[in-house]
A and B are shown apart, each in its own frame.
Chain A
Amino acid sequence: MSAPKVTPGAADRGLLPHPREPRPGKPAPEAVAAARRSPLALVLDRPTLFVVLVLALIAVIVPLLNLAVPEHSALHVRTYTVGLLGKYASYALLALAVDLIWGYCGILTLGHAAFFALGGYAMGMYLMREIGARGVYGNPLLPDFMVFLNWKALPWYWRGLDHFWLAAVLVLAAPAMLALVFGWLAFRSRVTGVYLSIMTQALTYALMLAFFRNETGFGGNNGFTGFKDILGFDLQASRTRVALFAVTVVVLALGYLACRFVVTSRTGRVIQAVRDAESRARFIGYRVESYKLWAFVFSAVLAGIAGALYVPQVGIINPSEFSPINSIEIVIWVAIGGRGTLYGALAGALLVNYAQTYFTQALPEIWLYALGGLFIGATLFLPGGLAGLIARRPIAGSRAASG
């Protein structure tokens, strides 16, 4: 998204604190210091260190507070809460994915929940196979919903998914394939801006319709549920759930580092250049479509991983995960946190989802009003998100100036 035009009147009215206004004057001290640091140190700048440290602490402390601390103690964290936090963590990873493609590459995607859901369904297929003969109908090979539909054999795309490693591959491959095909078609024909956003929305809408059907073999409108265990560990046991939580948080931290790595690399700089002045980048000779496609696929894979971590913790996946509103909600998390900062995405995801949990329990009738108001408020008054309010943004820490 290039610098948007602003009517003079609007600026006068002071309603548009334009976040993109670069502060004139001396270069940011971080940038000068950055020239001296090694690439690793550049990836691990101060905010990143903070985030990773906090995540590491959470990954260790919360499980302790659940497993090692007795239940009646005030410090004890209930297993239910651990599951909830794990859900938030997977959402945070999803928000990272969207921040990468939107905040850094300028592509507003209104269909990223599709990749999340695809990863989730892949994991779900494995978990369904794991149920084995313990399902309602007791069929060792066919999941319950297939027996219910009178199916006689396992469809070919379900074969082999009782092996975890294959499911893991599918978790990565399914969103990647979809992103590759869609992105290739879209970017090649130079579809940009709102058109592209609408296309992504149509994509996820079409997928939702497809997955609602029983014939596609994904459980129809009920989706998958009733999971028993994962890799042999009982999904209902506290230990498993806590372990899943810890894994999610660790993956989140790794994902964060990966995003930092990309963003501070030359490729990351090109991607941001594409966001700011696409035709200029093309003019210099960069294959803009390739960069966009790479970022899109990478982001889709991250979202897929997030989905795969989400499903065993939540215990269910159904086609409503594909619904357009889910995708748009992710965008709001990133917008509120502050796009283009990565840590903003984390913060936004956490805050909004916490608010949702709170409101839907305390005041369910007004949650949708609050959410809608959040959308409107964030776009009108907080274009830079919370991150824009808090810190003066340094130049995206560059590794260019180092050796």
Chain B
Amino acid sequence: MKPPPRKLRSLAAKLSGRSRSAQPPRIGALATGAPLSSGPDTSHGVILYLEEITVSFDGFKALDALTLYIETGELRCIIGPNGAGKTTMMDVVTGKTRPDHGSAWFGQTIDLLAHTEPEIAQAGIGRKFQKPTVFERHSVFENLELSMVGDRSVWRGLIARLSAAERERIEEVLEAIGLAERRFAPAGALSHGEKQWLEIGMLLMQNPRLLLVDEPVAGMTPQETERTAELLTALAGHHSIVVVEHDMDFVRSIARRLTVLHEGRVLADGPIEQVQADARVIEVYLGE
């Protein structure tokens, strides 16, 4: 599927040749692209552009001219054997790693390679890591409250109280992730699956447009896995979601479109049935 045209890149980006893996992330003022506060421009229906992304670590190519597009509102699953570059790809999107070559754009106007991790998070990309880290000694409610978008000032936090709108928002998320009953339980007392949901909830509190979810159902019971599938499916549409997973049953239950990564490149990409029948995919997974 051909990607729609993009707005002109800035001259600086062109000239620099994108060799940024050694540079520290720039802090503060933007050099390229639109203001972050306006969110991504999805007027063309694509929320994430990754083109020719190459990342090497000490000679080993983790990503090799990777090119990938995520459409707005999509729920995409990315699978691939270990070492295929899935986690590195997410690192590039969130700004944790800078690629040696290539370009990455969030919507039409936000150049991901020109911003720091916190800035990218603020722009609307949320990432859920494999291992759930919640604030164990705080309650579920407090965890969500802490994750809420808003004033992060130390002084104002002393007298801040939740507005009605904010409480409502927390209640919404509690309902969505299914933890409304456990709202006052300390997060450390939750089961593994519940912690994963809580973490998704904490992500949701920040109104992300794009969610990157890394192996959400690892370690979950079958019931929890099912619930998670429901949750993610419900979230798609309003949010765009990229899920990296190994569990094929789960993938089948949620994905319409599947992308297979192998050795840092896209091996196959398309509707799930088509990819599953692809000979190259079978070879990579099952060997000769």
Give chain A's interface residues, CB within 8 Å of chain B: 3, 20-28, 31-32, 35, 39, 261-262, 265-267, 269-270, 272-273, 276-277, 279-287, 290-291, 294, 395-396, 398-403
A-B contact pairs, 29 of them (CB 8 A): A20-B136, A20-B137, A22-B136, A25-B185, A25-B189, A31-B139, A266-B145, A266-B158, A266-B160, A267-B154, A267-B155, A267-B157, A269-B142, A273-B146, A279-B133, A280-B134, A281-B135, A282-B118, A284-B146, A284-B202, A287-B152, A294-B155, A395-B142, A395-B184, A398-B139, A400-B141, A402-B162, A403-B161, A403-B167
Assess A284 versus B206: contact at CB under 8 Å? Given A31-B139, A269-B146.
yes
**Cβ–Cβ < 8 Å partners of A26 in chain B:** 185
Most buried by A among B137, B145, B186: B137
A266 to chain B: which residues have CB within 8 Å? 145-146, 157-158, 160
**Contact in complex: A399, B142 (CB < 8 Å):** no
The reply to whether A272 and B159 form a contact with Cβ atoms under 8 Å apart is no
Distance A336 CA – B186 CA, assembled complex (angstroms): 25
> Could you count the A-B residue pairs with CB atoms below 8 Å apart for me: how many are there?
111
Residues of A within 8 A of B158 (CB): 261-262, 265-267
Task: Please report the C-alpha to C-alpha distance between residue A267 and residue B142 in the assembled complex, in whole angstroms.
Answer: 12
Question: B residues within 8 Å of A by Cβ?
Answer: 118, 121-122, 133-139, 141-142, 145-147, 152, 154-155, 157-162, 164, 167, 182-186, 188-189, 202, 206
Contacts A280-B135, A290-B154; is A402 near B161 (CB within 8 Å)?
A: yes
Q: B121: which of A39, A285, A294, A400 is its contact (CB, 8 Å)?
A: A285
A355–chain B nearest beta-carbon distance, Å = 31
CA distance A282 to B117 in the complex (A): 10
A272 and B147 within 8 A (CB): no
Provide the bound-state CA to CA distance between A267 and B151, in Å. 11
CA distance A402 to B164 in the complex (A): 10
* Contact of B135 with A398 in the complex, beta carbons under 8 Å: no
Min Cβ gap A38→B in Å is: 10
Query: For A262, what are the chain B residues with a Cβ–Cβ distance below 8 Å?
Result: 158
Q: For B118, B147, B152, B157, which residue has the most chain A Cβ atoms within 10 angstroms?
A: B157
Min CB–CB distance A146 → chain B (angstroms): 41
Given contacts A284-B206, A294-B154, contact A3 B139 (CB under 8 A): no
Min CB–CB distance A388 → chain B (angstroms):
14
In the bound complex, do residue A22 and residue B157 qualify as a contact, i.e. CB atoms below 8 Å apart?
no
> Which residue from chain B places its CB closest to the CB of A400 in the assembled complex?
B145
Top 3 nearest A-B pairs by Cβ distance? A27-B184, A267-B157, A22-B188
Residue among A21, A279, A285 having the largest count of chain B Cβ atoms under 10 Å = A285
Min Cβ gap B48→A in Å is 20
Asked whether A28 and B154 contact (CB < 8 A) given A3-B136, A280-B135, the answer is no
In the complex, which residue of chain B has the Cβ closest to the Cβ of A30? B184
B161 lies within 8 A of A22 (CB)? no
Chain A: which residue is nearest B187 at the CB level? Answer: A22
Given the interface pairs A23-B189, A395-B139, the reply to whether A32 lies near B184 with Cβ below 8 Å is: yes
CB within 8 A of B133: which of A261, A267, A269, A280? Answer: A280
* CA of A286 to CA of B118, assembled, Å: 9
Asked if B137 and A39 sit within 8 Å, CB to CB, the answer is no
How far, in Å, is B93 (CB) from chain A's closest CB? Answer: 15
Residues of A within 8 A of B162 (CB): 400, 402-403
**Whole-angstrom distance between the Cβ of B193 and the nearest chain A Cβ:** 14
Cβ-closest chain A residue relative to B140: A27
Question: In whole Å, how far is A131's beta carbon from the nearest beta carbon of chain B?
Answer: 40
Q: CA separation between A282 and B188, bound complex, in Å?
A: 19
Which interface residue of B133, B135, B167, B183 has the most chain A CB atoms within 10 A? B135
* Residue in contact with B118 in the complex, picked from A27, A285, A396, A398, CB distance below 8 Å: A285
Nearest neighbor of B182 in chain A, beta-carbon distance? A27
B139 A265 Cβ-Cβ under 8 A: no
The chain A residue sitting closest to B191, CB to CB, is A24
The CA-CA distance from A294 to B157 in the complex, in Å, is: 12
CB distance from A193 to the nearest CB of B (A): 18
- Among B135, B154, B155, the residue within 8 A (CB) of A276 is B135
- B186: A residues at CB distance < 8 A: 22, 27, 395
- Cα distance, A398 to B182, chains bound together (Å): 16
Q: Is the CB of A272 within 8 A of B152?
A: no
| Cα distance, A281 to B189, chains bound together (Å) | 20
Residues of B within 8 Å of A294, CB to CB, are 154-155
With known contacts A31-B184, A265-B159, A270–B146 Cβ distance under 8 A: yes
Report B-chain residues with C-beta under 8 Å of the C-beta of A39. 161
* 4 further A-B pairs in the complex, CB-CB below 8 A; given A266-B158, A270-B154, A401-B141: A272-B138, A277-B133, A286-B152, A398-B142
Q: Tell me, rounded to whole Å, the shortest Cβ–Cβ distance linking A272 to chain B.
A: 7
The distance in angstroms between the C-alpha atoms of A25 and B162, with both chains bound, is: 27
Assembled-state Cα–Cα distance A400/B160 (Å): 9
Query: CA of A277 to CA of B133 in the docked complex: distance in angstroms?
Result: 8
Which B residues lie within 8 Å of A287 (CB)? 152
Bound form: Cα–Cα A282–B96 in Å: 14
Among residues of B, the one whose C-beta sits closest to the C-beta of A24 is B189
- Kindly list chain A residues whose C-beta atoms are within 8 Å of the C-beta of B167: 403
CB distance from B184 to the nearest CB of A (A): 3
Q: Are A399 and B161 closer than 8 Å at their CB atoms? A: yes
Name the distance in Å between B156's Cβ and chain A's nearest Cβ.
Answer: 8
Across the two chains, which residue of chain A brings its CB closest to B121? A285
